[in-house]
Amino acid sequence: MASIFALASPFLVSNSSLVRKNIFLNRNNKKNVACQKRVYSSPHFELTDVACQKRVNSSPHFELTDVSTVSPIIRRSASYPPSLWPYERIQAINSKYTGEKYAARLESLKDDVRNMIYKENEKAENLLSILNLVDDLQRLGIWYHFADDISNVLDNVYNKYYKSPEKWNTLDLNLKALGFRILRHNGYHITQDIFEDIKDEICIKGHSIEDTLGMLNLYEASYHSFEDENILDEARDFTTKYLQESLGTISDPYVSSLTSHALDMPLHWRVARVETKWFIEAYEKRSGMNPTVLNLAKLDFNMVQAVHQEDLKHASRWWRTTKWDDKLSFARDRVVENYMWTIANSYRPQFTLLRRTLTKVFAIICIVDDTYDVHGTLDELEKFTDVISRWNIYAIEELPDYMKICFLGFYNSINDMAYTTLTDTGSFILPYLQKAWEDLCKAYLVEARWYHTKYMPTFKEYLDIAEVSISVPLMLTHNSFVMNVCSTEEVIQSMDKIKNIIRYSALITRLANDLGTSPDEMARGDTPKAVQCYMHETGATEKEARAHVRSLIIKLWQKLNKERAGLKTTYLKEFGECAANFGRMAQFMYEVLQDGHGHDIDLTEAYVLSLVVNPIQGV
């Protein structure tokens, strides 16, 4: 590649990879050697050391290429819209739902609901009533206040009604389906055989409200299936068709809204915090709703929202100190959208440190991803990856300035996270974090080489790299060390048990991402995604390729469901839920919002206002 050396201005010099090939330096001249290193490091073609510039221009040992024969570096642009959330807007967010007044009210409402659970569990006569109460508490997002109480209730329900086949005979379709869904969701072993004797029954169902609720719960239950559970696969197909045909005939507004909501996306795939806000509004309109439960849900939502606001403001202050929005303007400025991912990951108030840490990780990923994806030359990216692999701060001298800013910023941030863990727990986790970042950047580099060489990977080649480049393995590595629900030793000892969970979560996230973002990325000439690789390899149409990717997502969820079913410890259960939540957020961000992290940020803004900024009124 030819070099450029802009003689028109004494303060303009070329990119490092170009100058190196065309400037010949007397190696014995130490001053010129040091000077050349500084010249190499300037990607923006600006040199601030005037004395150094004069030595370069006047040195008899430099040969300058004729600028008339040189082509400048052309860098790609993703044309990302600017952030909708400037620093001042974020810092102005505030909530009144803090302090002793609201905390005391919350405790009072919790006591009332706990008594309600206790009474239901004591009499245990109305199975449907207790299952509906547990379901409501979970969908309203307040279950975590009653985790032990709910566990006791479900133990009783499981042992009395669902543990063995001889106990199923007294249950109708709705109780079988609702119980199956809730028990599997909460980690109980329950087999699909509970539905074996109702296959004929569901084929003759009418369209009464009772029938619709039973079919709706069976539909929702089917998404908790494992691989090769054919009864549940058939149930999913049949109930989908049944509910679609029933929509126009359902007289109850609440049941109708539940049905259309489920057909848009099943409950098992939904982001918990988004579902909570939607369900509070739906529950309020339900005939026979419990005002105490509703008031607790509303107050808890607003109080947790106040915690989220402080987390976001903390992340915003950190983001401002990096100056990346100004210095690395080619990359996405998405601190708020990044924070939304962390709410989806773990919304409960006790996970403040996790959300604050992951917001930084997400922001760094955006910067590094856009460096590889749209801005860096292949030569620069090769060097950048090498520096990351070495994790040597002194090696950045050979990088252009924008990469120095990028590397030094995230190097300091990751080291700081490791330092905090070391001082808080005595565990040195930096080698694990460093390895995860190295793996991610190596995957980015493979994709960059594909782009620059116009290589079309096979579908398998693509997925093998893409499951790393989607960054879920990296995020879950950070996640596992910051959850604070176990010792670092348990995390390290559990790594073999969670590797499949990480893989399935990563692939769900990648495929959902590709379905939502590939049209924009293809338009700017990006590396082919899953849809394009499958089309090229099989000759499928785009419609057929997209259908294939969607079918893969269902199968991956089934694999993930099975892996999570065997988790026993608190840490592993929490980790499994976080892993599933990445897939849920990806389907929300890239299917519901189309591309809510890149271009369609106005759609994301509405959810930010709903979940983070605006409290529920009348509380």
Domains with residue ranges and CATH for the chain: 16-69 (no CATH), 124-289 (1.50.10.130), 296-613 (1.10.600.10)
397-419 per-position pLDDT tens digit: 989 999 999 999 999 999 999 99
Amino acid at 94: N
Report phi then psi at 200, rounded to 5: -75, -35
Cβ within 8 Å of residue 96, ≥6 positions away: 615
In this structure, what are the phi and psi dihedrals at residue 12, rounded to the nearest 5 degrees? -120, 125
H or E segment to which residue 537 belongs: helix 530-538
Q: How many residues are listed for the chain in this entry?
A: 619
pLDDT value for 49: 35
Question: What tokens appear for 595 in the block?
Answer: 């591309």
Strand, coil or helix: what is 335?
helix
> Please, which residues have CB within 8 angstroms of residue 200's CB and are 6 or more apart in sequence?
none
- Measure CA 23 to chain center: 46
Task: Quote the CA–CA distance of 596 and 192 in Å, as a whole number.
Answer: 37
| Alpha-carbon separation of residue 305 from 40, 338, 339, 568 (angstroms) | 48, 16, 13, 30
* Closest of 357, 346, 337, 358 to residue 608, by C-alpha: 337
For residue 171, count other CB atoms closer than 10 A to its CB.
19
**Ranges of the chain whose pLDDT falls below 70:** 1-72, 74, 76-79, 124, 199-210, 518-525, 594-601
Residue showing tokens 């991402």: 513
Report in angstroms the alpha-carbon separations of 32 from 16, 26, 37, 39, 474.
15, 8, 9, 10, 41
Q: Tell me the residue type at 440.
A: L
Q: What is the pTM of this model?
A: 0.85
What are φ and ψ of residue 150, in 5° steps?
-65, -40
Distance CA 421, CA 482 (A): 8
Report the amino acid identity of residue 526.
D
Tell me how far apart the alpha carbons of residues 117 and 111 are, in angstroms, rounded to a whole number. 10
